[in-house]
Chains A and B, each alone.
Chain A
Amino acid sequence: MNTRYIILAILLLALGAGTMILPDKAEKEELPAERLLLDITSDTRFKEPIFVAQKIIEKDPVYTLIDVRTSDQYNEFHLPGTINIPLKEFNNPEYQGYLDREVKNNIFISNGSLKADQAWFLCRRKGYENNYVMQGGLNQWVENILRPTPPPATASKAAFEEYNRCKAASLYFGGGSMDISTEVRKEELPVKRKKKERKVAGGC
């Protein structure tokens, strides 16, 4: 009986020692290539600029906007409410907390969507979820939000609604030259003058 217990104990010890030899599991396991491929083929990682614009206007706390361009480019211009994590810093342990959000979402922004997409890929390989890419980047942001082109007169109602939403967003993000509103006031002035001139004519 005793020898049997001893042998069992030795076996268990050996098993325990064996698990120590097993390859160290990384803190977060990398996503298998096949699983990563599935995510590549779906376009759900892309978010339209108007979607991003709405999140900025609503100040939605669920979405964090991350500018992946260099810090020089970021300092020159960036969207309101974005933070800067340059692509070359993406493996920096300091930033992993920002990139791997459990509940919150990140949207990556670059000039086009290439750098942002590469940032997304690297994060996805590391197993991080809830990251998105702004479709077309800042170049498309200018075309869609700041300078929206009106749809042709034959376009559907939805296209016009989309245009109006972009136009409204452009007012929010515009730098404040009030060209349109001052023009309206200037037009009002001559009308008032004419009325008063008539009064003068009537008086004499």
Chain B
Amino acid sequence: MKKINNLIAGAIAFVAVIFIAMISINQPEHPYELSIDEALDTTLTMTEMEVFPEDVPMMLEDSTSNHVFIDVRNPGEFVKGHIEGAKNIPVNSILQESSLEFFREKDSATTAILYGKDQIQANAPWMLLTQLGFNNIKVMKGGYDYYSTHSLDIYDMPAIPEYMIEEPMYDYQQVVEETPGIGDVKVKTEGPEKVVPKRKKKERKVEGGC
């Protein structure tokens, strides 16, 4: 009887260890809060989460608006210049406990606005944080490069500002047609044909002269 008890105890312990191991292996450290379908939906409707650079000066002056700018560039670039009052969280340290704590601790009324040197740099961190379940995180169009070079004429912009990177800047089909290429063979054959009759006319003239 005692032997059987030992066997049962050992086996139960074995099963328990395997269960715990399997469950903990499947559990990632930072689980995604949004499913992949929800992630696609938030990506497709991301225009709601975009901040335009020309709105930034007003946001900075308005003391009642609740926001904090997050600079995701590296500390060297941050030191050289950044948006007033911005907090530096470089992309590679965005999942560090101190950074995550910041996003967790900030009250839900405060909007965190991510910006990098361009929107592309801030886009992936924005997607990651949003999909990990952090709310009220926005991303700035244009990024710091646009903001700093247009600091004086930030309101004075063309119909399609250059930070609208997904807008077609050209009529692609027209540009292709304007570009000289090897596509059209007809023009080539027309060229020599024109040359031949002209030669004949001149030969006749010579004959007539003599």
Contact = CB atoms under 8 A, between A and B. Distances in A.
Nearest to A180: B180
Interface residues of B, number: 66
A157 interface: no
A15 B127 contact: no
Contacts of B11: 7-8, 11
Contacts of A180: 180
A33 B145 CA distance: 28
Interface string A1-36: 001100110010011001100110100001011101
Nearest to B19: A18
Contacts of B53: none
B166 A7 contact: no
A174 B182 contact: yes
Q: What bracket does the count of chain A residues touching chain B fall in?
A: 35 or more
B26 interface: yes
B63 interface: no
A27 to B, nearest CB: 12
Nearest to B15: A15
A36 B44 contact: no
Given A91-B37, A193-B202, A34 B30 contact: yes
Nearest to B40: A91
Contacts of B183: 174-176
Interface string A182-204: 10010011001100100110011
Interface string A156-183: 0000000000000011111111111110
A110 interface: yes
B32 A139 contact: no
Interface in B167-210: 167-170, 172-173, 175-184, 187-188, 191, 195, 198-199, 202, 205-206, 209-210
B94 to A, nearest CB: 7
Interface stretch (B104-112, B118-126, B150-158): B118-126
Contacts of A173: 176, 179, 181
Nearest to A138: B172
B8 interface: yes
B95 interface: yes
A83 interface: no
B68 interface: no
A117 B123 contact: yes
Interface of A: 3-4, 7-8, 11, 14-15, 18-19, 22-23, 25, 30, 32-34, 36-37, 40-41, 73, 76-77, 87-88, 90-91, 110-115, 117-118, 121-122, 125-126, 137-139, 142, 146-147, 170-182, 185, 188-189, 192-193, 196, 199-200, 203-204
